[in-house]
Amino acid sequence: MLRLRDPQDSLWDQLLPPQVRTVSAELSAVDACLADDRFFEPTDAASTP
């Protein structure tokens, strides 16, 4: 099953230092757009019978 969101950190994420886990403001804005449920509506509608 494809999971689009995973609330848990992976083991790899936990091993990385905090400086590496932070993203730039630009990537944070892109992440906010992709986290919006409206982004997935076209694919959800296409995959439902």
Q: Report the candidate in 9, 4, 12, 10 with the shortest Cα–Cα distance to residue 31.
A: 4
pLDDT at residue 26, rounded to an integer: 93
What ranges do the domains of the chain cover?
A: 22-49
pLDDT at residue 44, rounded to an integer: 67
Tokens representing residue 3 in the block: 């999971």
- Tell me the per-residue pLDDT of 29-43, one tens digit each, with 9 for 90 and over: 988 888 888 877 777
Q: Report the candidate in 1, 21, 23 with the shortest Cα–Cα distance to residue 10.
A: 21
Mean pLDDT of 21-33: 87
- What is each CA distance from 21 to 13, 32, 38, in whole angstroms? 7, 16, 26
User: For the whole model, what pTM was predicted?
Assistant: 0.45
Q: What is the DSSP string of 11-29?
A: HHHHHS-HHHH---HHHHH
